Every structure is written in C-alpha cells, then in structure tokens.
Chain A
C-alpha cells in the first residue's frame, strides 16, 4: 500500500504536480494498479536475458544539422539565439 504522502512525493519527483482534490482518487487508483502488479512477484528470474539486447549504432560522423532558426522556432522564450529556461541555482 502506498500512502497519500508517498503519492505526493512521487508527483514531486516526476514534476507533474498534484492537488489536494485529486490526491485521494490518485492514491486509490495507484493502489489498485500496484496490487494488480503484485502478480509479478511470482515470476522467476530477474530479466537478465533482456540485457543481452543491443542497439545498432552508426559511426559518429559529423552531418549537417538543422539550421539554428528552425531549431529555435518552437521555443516560447528565447534571447540572442539561446533558449531561455527557468533558474537552476
């Protein structure tokens, strides 16, 4: 069982936010789904075989990229060819 406090913490970690009004419903649904996931406790093994899958990588050769103007076109806030982001410090 996860508590409302736990769900709130997860929402903060994931930066998706959660308000008081939906916390109860979310927690209830979360628990029903996690209870269903418990069936996986009966599965043998740890998925080690899946780790043998690999990506096919191309040579890291420099290729033409999109023009700066195109890349910035969708950014809602920009300045001097840079994208503006919230403060990190």
Chain B
C-alpha cells in the first residue's frame, strides 16, 4: 500500500450504493486515482448488490479480474455505484435503492444501466469509473450525462467477477470525463484472463492520436431516421462535420438488419437472464428461504419479494421464449438476426474505417417518463447493434440539445477499439 485517500462526497445524486471513506491505494499508472465501480462487479470485502434486494448484504469473497488489475496499478476503489437492478434498464430508475439523478438536470435520469458511474464522473466525484455494457449501459449514461464511455470489443476485457446478466453481449468498460481517461482505464483493464472462457489475448497499449486525416466514416441512414429526435440528429451531424474538417471523409451506408436488432437483442438477453438469474434463490447468499417449505414454494417466496418488477419481467420473457415450442420462433431467429447484423457490419467495414451516429435517439428522459417497458426498450435501438456484433463503440459528448448533453457514437471493426478512441479523441481535441 502506497497511501490512502479520503472519500467523503456529498452524494446528492444518489450515485453511490456504498463508499469507502478511507480508500487504500498502491503505486502504478493509476496511483491514488479515485475509481468508482459499478455494483455488479465483485469487490472483495465490499458489499456488491447489483442494486437488488436479493443481494443486499452480499460481501464477495474475491475480486473480479478487473479489480485486481486496478489495484495492481495503484487505483483507489472508492465506492460502488448505483445501477438498474442487474443491469436491466436504461434509466437507473430500476434500482432497488432509489434512482440516480442526472447531475446536468436533477429532474432527469442519468441513463442506464451504469447511471451511478456516469453521474459520479459527471459530478466530479471521481475521475473515472467502471461500468458494464450489455445493450448500451455504458454509452447511454455517458451520452445523457455528458461524459465519455467505451464498450470494448467482446473478449478484450475479462468478465470474471462480473455478476452475469447476458454473457454473450456484456463487457466491462471505462467511463471518464475525457477520452484520455477512458483510454488510460481501458489500458489497465484489457488483456487475457484464463478465468473467462471468452477472454482473448488482446491487450490495449495505446495513447490516443488525434490525426484522422484520410479516415473514412460510414453514416448509416438508420441512425438518423424514424424515432431519432431531429435536434439530436442535427447536433450529431454538425459533430461529424467537424470530423470532416479534420480530414475525414463520410460515406452514406445502410444497415438493413437494424430492423430486427432490438427484438434480437431483447430475446437474447432475456433468455440468457432467465438462466443466469436462476442462481439467486437465497441459499448461498441473499435472504434466507424458509427451509421448512418445499423448494418451489421457498424459492418463489424469496424471488417474488426480492427481485424488482423489471427483473421478474425479463426472467419470465426469457423463460417463455426458451419454453418448449417457442425456441425456434424466438431464440433461433434472434441468433439468425444477430448473424445478419454481423454480416451487415462486415460488409460496411470493407469500405469504411468507422461508423458514426448518435448514441441515443433523444436527450435524457425526465424521471418516470418511461413507465411502459416496451417504450423503454425502444430507446436502446442505436446502442444494441454493437453488442450483437461484439464490436467496439464509444460515446463522446458532442454538444447540447435543450440544454442537455448529446453523445456522438463511433463504432469500429472488431478489436479496433484504438481507432474508435482516436476518432473520439480527435473530436474532443478539436472542440476543446
């Protein structure tokens, strides 16, 4: 241990579920840097709840791989951040411990599901934070709170110790006030881990480079069409104009399979969730089931009271989609749609280096604005394609609409995280 930092923020946005008043740190690239961690990432001896009553009081006996890496580089883990329960949501309102408020306007949501991490960074409580992104959960709150956030290529960051919601889609990734912070944190957490069977040996050793002369940017029509707020689209188009001034060229393109992306995403993630969340029965952790009752009744009692409504809805949707007679109609078709989306991206990336568009179709919603589940799901339309394809995607602040931040999303070829970081960095340097 090289030192200790005192962390005692005035958390008026409810960004944290737990804080460490005295946070020890070591030496290294992040010596003494305060890092906040989303509450679905296991931290040894620090309560980890996934913002769910079913994990209230759970103290992980081990660190997630990324936490070990952070500690090895001297970071101070200062707290666990609020989120939508198990990552299921786009607003952080689905937390069992109350919503996080958007520091830019406390009448609005910070986005989700990594809303606490984004709010903590946006409010200046921490320099950087870890989130996880299953269908936009890093990029959405980064966009809504006016900070930068990267969803890494699938496989570059270990998921060991990330409490699983949808294994085939999710990645841990960095959020920061600047693209440089995001890049620095990515450099610490990326790399191979033998405890994650989907981990690849692709470390990230990169210093952002703002030279984007000659870069070809694909502009998909679907990212500026129906459902996308015209003011948001205009802000993003202007930002892309700035990239052209820096020497990039733009090429119109189309992702026809986008039409199926959202349905494919929600079928896949609910199916995986129904299986992953079966482990929460109160036996090994969580509220004790009544051991005198039969296991069905005892588990049902625990799960019906300790899971929130959205979590139960997604478990049920997944259970239904995987049930006898429906597998071919839902899950198999969702995987076929996923292949088509990958194929569309591969085709487009033969002609262009990156794809740009808005991160979210609107600015941050007002609290309680999205009360209907389907309308909330539809807000993820621009972020889920990158998760379905596994490709890297970053959100960087690119201006405002109605006084609220708008995010520019840059998606890249598989494993070209460095390139999306460079494009975001070039934009950030140009406007600052």
User: Which residues of A are at the interface with B, using a C-beta cutoff of 8 A?
Assistant: 2, 7, 10-19, 22, 26, 29-30, 32-34, 36-37, 39-47, 49-50, 55-58, 66, 70-71, 73-77, 83-88
Contact = CB atoms under 8 A, between A and B. Distances in A.
A80 B296 CA distance: 25
B290 A86 contact: yes
Interface of B: 57-59, 61-62, 194, 197-200, 259-260, 262-264, 266-267, 274, 278, 281-301, 303-305, 307, 309, 312-313, 315-317, 319-321, 323, 328-340, 372-374, 377
Contacts of B319: 10, 13-14
Nearest to A42: B260
A46 B328 contact: yes
B160 to A, nearest CB: 12
Contact of A46 (B286, B292, B336): B336
A31 to B, nearest CB: 10
Given A16-B303, A36-B263, A74-B59, A47 B198 contact: no
7 contacts: A36-B262, A36-B377, A43-B333, A43-B336, A47-B333, A76-B287, A84-B283
A16 B108 CA distance: 31
Contacts of A36: 262-263, 374, 377
A44 B335 CA distance: 11
B336 A86 contact: no
B317 A30 contact: yes
Nearest to A7: B316
Contacts of B282: 76
Contact of A29 (B274, B333, B372): B372
In order of increasing CB-CB distance, the 10 nearest A-B pairs are A17-B304, A47-B335, A76-B288, A86-B298, A74-B285, A45-B336, A55-B197, A70-B61, A40-B333, A86-B295
